[in-house]
Amino acid sequence: MKKFLAAVLAVLMLCVGVFVACGSGNEGDNSQTGGNSQTGDNSQTGDNSQTGGQTESVDVYLPDGTPALAVAQAITEGVDIDGYSVNFHIIAAGDIGKVFAAHDDADLAIMPTIGAAGVYSNGMGIQLVSTNVFGNLFIVGVNGTAASLAELKGKVVMTTAATTIQLFQYLLEQNEIEYELGSQAVDADKVYLNSYDSGQQIIQALKAAEAKQTEAYGVLGEPQVTMCQTNVPSARIAVDFQAEWESLTEFDGYPQASLIVRGSFASSHSSFVSAFADALKGNAAWLADAENIAAFQAALAAYNETADYQSTLAAANLTTDTIERCNLGFQSASDVKASVIDYIGRLNPSVELKDDFFFAAA
């Protein structure tokens, strides 16, 4: 059992790098936001939820950053599902894997799709309910003119690890561009990838390069692209990973982050899982309104007053342009299945996704 848990944790820790750019810190507490406790009996069939006026407590874990944005409306307005009380936990982006694996109370979570697929292949009983983030990665540059992957030859690009660097390497390979890991460019025909622990470190390095008037590039995910542009005025988007992906595949964006559910919970509460997924369908359109962004940040500010982990989104500069570049959306497991299989097949072909990975009732 210890070996199994260690394998699960190892896979998850390797696969959550794309979210580290969006926040870091300690695990959140059990505080609720948005007034989402509901009472009443449960008339949903096939579920083992409470009756007689009691409620079933459901815990949803969200990495700080874009994954939390994917559930913004539910956090702000609450989720009205009879017989259930939904508790949202916002945690450090890099902690989502170990927290979900180690906490039996974690019923649902948003996590990197590639990480979820890896954990599934290692035997953990989870299912993908929906995909909610379809790519938010960009290469940002200062004091340079590169505007394509090919124009990055002979340059160093800072990047975080795991999914981010995996996707970057895949895009370079598909464009027949050689690359190496390193902090110094010694070959004008290669791109050099310099790994950093967090997006914040990359922003600091870009700021230093701006001050020294030296050329520098780094991979960032929204909302840190906006943060970078706020703190580094000359920073500009050089490459859009989403556009690069679309040029290589038949899909509009890639299934970067998804809502997953613990299998044991899904088997006992399938109706709730479907209803919760339904509550997320209008989230992207809801966040396209500046007033709703403000309401969401106010809800987060209230959440932060009692939470152990302080969400960085509460005070972030979130504009409608930022939200658009987050590529939020909703596709149910059945609708996104082909895209997920294609995505995992390209980035981690050793993983085989079977039908039981996809939640059928969403």
- Full DSSP string of 195-229: E-S-HHHHHHHHHHHHHHT--EEEEEETTHHHHHH
- Residue range 235-245: mean pLDDT, rounded: 97
Q: What pLDDT, on a 0 to 100 scale, did the predictor assign at position 161? A: 85
Q: What pLDDT, on a 0 to 100 scale, did the predictor assign at position 94? A: 81
- Residue range 43-59: mean pLDDT, rounded: 62
- Structural domain including 106 reads 2-135+254-357
Half-sphere exposure of 104 (CA within 13 A, CB side): 1
Q: What pLDDT, on a 0 to 100 scale, did the predictor assign at position 40? A: 32
Half-sphere exposure of 321 (CA within 13 A, CB side): 6
User: Are 152 and 114 in the same domain?
Assistant: no
User: Are 196 and 213 in the same domain?
Assistant: yes
Reported in sequence order, the residue ranges of the chain that DSSP labels E, i.e. its strands, are 56-63, 84-91, 108-112, 126-133, 137-142, 156-159, 178-181, 190-195, 216-221, 236-240, 257-262, 328-332
Q: Which of 45-49, 175-179, 308-312 has the lowest mean pLDDT?
A: 45-49
Q: Please give the backbone phi and psi of residue 266, each rounded to the nearest 5 degrees, phi first.
A: -60, -35
User: Are 106 and 38 in the same domain?
Assistant: yes
Q: What pLDDT, on a 0 to 100 scale, did the predictor assign at position 163? A: 83
- Note the pLDDT tens digit of each residue in 5-15: 444 444 444 44
Q: What pLDDT, on a 0 to 100 scale, did the predictor assign at position 134? A: 97
Q: What pLDDT, on a 0 to 100 scale, did the predictor assign at position 52? A: 53
User: Are 164 and 142 in the same domain?
Assistant: yes
pLDDT surpassing 70 at residue 239: yes
User: Are 116 and 8 in the same domain?
Assistant: yes
Q: Which of 39-43, 145-149, 180-184, 347-351 has the lowest mean pLDDT?
A: 39-43
Q: What is the mean pLDDT of the chain?
A: 87
| Residue 33 banded pLDDT, cuts 50, 70, 90 | very low
Domain with residue 141: its CATH number is: 3.40.190.10
The CA-based diameter of the chain, rounded to the nearest angstrom, is 71
| Residue 362 banded pLDDT, cuts 50, 70, 90 | low
Q: What pLDDT, on a 0 to 100 scale, did the predictor assign at position 313? A: 96
On whether residue 362 sits in a domain, the answer given is no
- Residue range 266-278: mean pLDDT, rounded: 97
Q: What pLDDT, on a 0 to 100 scale, did the predictor assign at position 97? A: 83
User: Are 154 and 289 in the same domain?
Assistant: no
Q: What pLDDT, on a 0 to 100 scale, did the predictor assign at position 53? A: 65
User: Are 16 and 159 in the same domain?
Assistant: no
pTM assigned to the model: 0.84
Boundary of a domain, candidates 223, 248, 273: 248
Boundary of a domain, candidates 220, 248, 276: 248
Give the C-alpha distances (Å, rounded to integers) separating 268 from 88, 89, 262, 272, 356: 20, 22, 10, 9, 15
pLDDT surpassing 70 at residue 32: no
- Note the pLDDT tens digit of each residue in 66-117: 999 999 999 999 999 999 999 999 999 888 888 888 888 899 999 999 989 9
In the chain, how many domains are there? 2
The percent of residues in the chain predicted with pLDDT above 90, rounded, is: 77
Q: What pLDDT, on a 0 to 100 scale, did the predictor assign at position 1? A: 43
pLDDT surpassing 70 at residue 35: no
